[in-house]
């Protein structure tokens, strides 16, 4: 496999000084990234998730060369980011949702003109890319508006375009949909999906919005305390998180909790409707057969486990999960 992004035992330690009283300071070491190893192949789109303070943004900053790792080995497109940050800059694009890279007081188009010169983008290519991005991200009416007057969603689209004008092969997105409304979020998602599928751009997507991941990424990496907790397909998280599915049955009338065998347990009863939880790895068919044989069944449905709940349990458990597949 062509490892386009490669981390091997990468660490980042911050020395923080904290005031603990008048004239008293305490020094503390924060291991923001603690021996992280993974690879991303060219053309992949990988979700990068974890609770607050897990080390996600720190990882992205090391991948761009903004921060130098305290240990381990890191390569992006064969380049050591911290040592050759400028050379790498021509091959990557980055969007930090919490901070804009645009010029606050200038019209949007001016930031693009600056990028044109800064990255020495050939004129024809610049015009072609600008036209395409403006159209795809709906920026036409915003080009002459000062960035500070843009709404959050407009600014985010503006930032994404700025990150892509120089045709980067890799795009890092650190919470690109934070604070966006449903329409803007969908628009950004569709754009990113198209960018990855159509142009083959390699994408590392950090987000707290699991729907971003569900829509866009077949592979997800979960970090906590700077360590890899899971690296594999999104579906594998269900098994790793010991998640449960729910069978909802409607009976003819109100009855005591049904017995559907040892795998399932009734978790809720409301009139003639009952909810049964069972392991996600177990087939629903025998449970249904058993209920249908022993009770006056009118209707039923199976609900898939809620990915939010699975991940919530994973964060809360704080145990390392052995990855199913993928490369950790
Ligand atoms: N410049 C810094 N100096 C000191 N500590 C830092 C610095 N940057 C990050 N940290 C610490 O490193 C840890 C990881 O932070 P990071 O921003 O990478 O987390 P994150 O996963 O991006 O979290 P969030 O979901 O909140 O964005 C935190 O404990 C944070 O306080
Ligand atoms: Mg962050």
**pLDDT tens for residues 165-214?**
999 999 999 999 988 889 889 999 999 999 999 999 999 999 988 889 98
pLDDT reported for residue 184? 87
Confidence bin at 241 (pLDDT 50/70/90): low
The residue whose CA is least distant from atom 11 of ligand 1 is 32
Please state the atom number of ligand 1 nearest to the C-alpha of residue 223: 21
pLDDT reported for residue 234? 83
Ligand 2 center–CA 53 separation, angstroms: 7
Please state the atom number of ligand 1 nearest to the C-alpha of residue 67: 1
pLDDT reported for residue 119? 94
Ligand nearest to the CA of residue 63, numbered in listed order:
1
The answer to whether the CB of 192 falls within 8 A of the CB of 216 is: yes
Ligand nearest to the CA of residue 49, numbered in listed order:
1
Ligand 1 center–CA 15 separation, angstroms: 12
**pLDDT tens for residues 79-119?**
999 999 999 999 999 999 999 999 999 999 999 999 999 99
Max distance between CA atoms of the chain, in angstroms, equals: 76
Ligand 1 center–CA 100 separation, angstroms: 18
Q: What is the distance of C-alpha 38 from the center of its chain?
A: 15
The residue whose CA is least distant from atom 10 of ligand 1 is 32
Q: What is the distance of C-alpha 61 from the center of its chain?
A: 15
Q: Is the pLDDT of residue 323 over 50?
A: no
Q: Does residue 262 sit in helix, strand or coil? A: coil
pLDDT reported for residue 269? 95
Question: Among 43, 30, 60, 42, which residue's Cα sits nearest to residue 207?
Answer: 60
Confidence bin at 305 (pLDDT 50/70/90): confident
To test ligand 1's pocket by mutation, which of 11, 54, 174, 226 has the most ligand atoms within 8 angstroms of CB? 54
To test ligand 1's pocket by mutation, which of 30, 49, 67, 226 has the most ligand atoms within 8 angstroms of CB? 30
Ligand 1 center–CA 9 separation, angstroms: 18
Which residues, other chains included, contact 168 with Cβ-Cβ below 8 Å and sequence gap of 6+?
90, 91, 92, 93, 201
Cα-flanking dihedrals φ and ψ of residue 319, to 5°? -110, 150
* Percent share of the chain, pLDDT over 70: 94
Q: Does residue 255 sit in helix, strand or coil? A: coil
The residue whose CA is least distant from atom 29 of ligand 1 is 53
The residue whose CA is least distant from atom 3 of ligand 1 is 14
**pLDDT tens for residues 121-146?**
999 999 999 999 999 999 999 999 99
Q: Is the pLDDT of residue 324 over 60?
A: no
Ligand nearest to the CA of residue 16, numbered in listed order:
1
Q: Is the pLDDT of residue 321 over 70?
A: no
Q: What is the mean pLDDT of the chain?
A: 90
Q: Which residues line ligand 1 (CB under 6 A)?
A: 14, 16, 30, 32, 50, 52-58
The residue that leads in pLDDT, 249 or 244, is: 249
The residue that leads in pLDDT, 158 or 17, is: 158
Q: Is the pLDDT of residue 307 over 90?
A: no
Ligand 2 center–CA 68 separation, angstroms: 17
């Amino acid at each position: 496999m062509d490892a386009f992004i490669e981390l091997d035992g990468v660490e980042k330690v911050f020395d923080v000084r904290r005031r603990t009283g008048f004239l008293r300071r305490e020094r503390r070491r924060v291991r923001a990234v603690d021996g992280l190893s993974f690879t991303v192949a060219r053309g992949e789109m990988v979700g990068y998730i974890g609770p607050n303070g897990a080390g996600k943004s720190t990882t992205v900053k090391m991948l761009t060369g903004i921060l130098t790792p305290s240990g381990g080995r890191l390569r992006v497109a064969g380049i050591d980011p911290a040592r050759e940050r400028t050379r790498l800059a021509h091959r990557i694009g980055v969007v930090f949702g919490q901070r804009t890279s645009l010029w606050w007081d200038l019209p949007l188009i001016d930031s693009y003109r600056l990028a044109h010169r800064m990255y020495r983008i050939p004129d024809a290519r610049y015009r072609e890319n600008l036209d395409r991005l403006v159209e795809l991200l709906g920026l036409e009416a915003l080009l002459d508006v000062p960035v500070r007057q843009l709404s959050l969603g407009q600014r985010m689209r503006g930032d994404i375009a700025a990150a892509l004008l120089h045709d980067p092969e890799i795009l890092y997105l650190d919470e690109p949909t934070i604070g966006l409304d449903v329409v803007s979020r969908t628009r950004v998602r569709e754009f990113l999906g198209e960018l990855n599928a159509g142009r083959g751009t390699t994408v590392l997507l950090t987000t707290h919005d699991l729907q971003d991941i569900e829509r866009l990424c077949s592979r997800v990496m979960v970090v906590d305390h700077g360590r890899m907790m899971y690296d594999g397909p999104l579906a594998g998280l269900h098994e790793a998180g010991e998640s449960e599915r729910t069978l909802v049955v409607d009976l003819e009338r109100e009855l005591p909790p049904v017995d559907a065998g040892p795998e399932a347990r009734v978790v809720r009863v409301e009139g003639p409707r009952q909810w049964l939880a069972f392991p996600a790895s177990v087939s629903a068919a025998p449970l249904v057969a058993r209920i249908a044989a022993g009770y006056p069944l009118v209707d039923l449905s199976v609900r898939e486990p809620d990915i939010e709940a699975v991940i919530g349990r994973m964060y809360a458990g704080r145990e390392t999960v052995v990855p199913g597949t993928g490369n950790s």
